[in-house]
Structure 1
Amino acid sequence: MDAADLIEPFARMLDTIAAPAAVRAVEHGGSADAMWAEVAASGFLDALVGEDAGGAGLPLAVANALWQELGRRAVPLPVGETMIARALLAAAGRPIPDGPVALAVAG
């Protein structure tokens, strides 16, 4: 599968759910729930999760191209962060929660 086979549908999805007006609405306090639901339903959150754990097992170079699409549209969601967190949790054999995921270091 060519990287464009993933990037193009991802970009089309973002064009639909993260049009400038939708992004501005979220930035001004509107709900991002519908936007997040579409991203979650797309399966792209598991792009970095290994195939053995049900993900796509994409290399970082392809994920980087997806993240650039997020940046081009100023998507106000932690999609990239969640992709990384989900991959790390899956690799560690930990359960992956639904919704946005952030990782932090406790000191």
Structure 2
Amino acid sequence: MKSNSIIFLCSLHRKLNPAMKKSCEQAMRIGQQVRLGKAPRDVKDPTWITPKSHRQPPINLYGFYVLRHAYNIITAGLTEFTEEMFNDPSPFSDSEIYQIRQHWGLFMFDFHNNHPLEE
């Protein structure tokens, strides 16, 4: 993956909203200008990558799909994009959704118990 790339994952397999695309590209341009000290005219547009990830059924499970993809990316330590991670467009099974709920529920419970809010 090129360093100037944006990966757009949509569990509904929808097209990217043009306003969102413009906003992301502007943020990437500003980031390049600041981080690399480039002049605005020397900044290139990012490359968009749109893999076909698991497609969610038309019900309210958005967060579970996002959490699963975020978890997979983080635990794999991805610094390079790999199409193989996102090559299954089928929806998650009920068992997979249950596992995602269990995993994140236990994570939140553990985090809360080990990082209590100061009063």
Q: With the length of structure 1 as denominator, give the TM-score of the two structures.
A: 0.23
Name whichever structure is richer in helix by fraction. 1
Q: With the length of structure 2 as denominator, give the TM-score of the two structures.
A: 0.22
Name whichever structure is richer in strand by fraction. 2
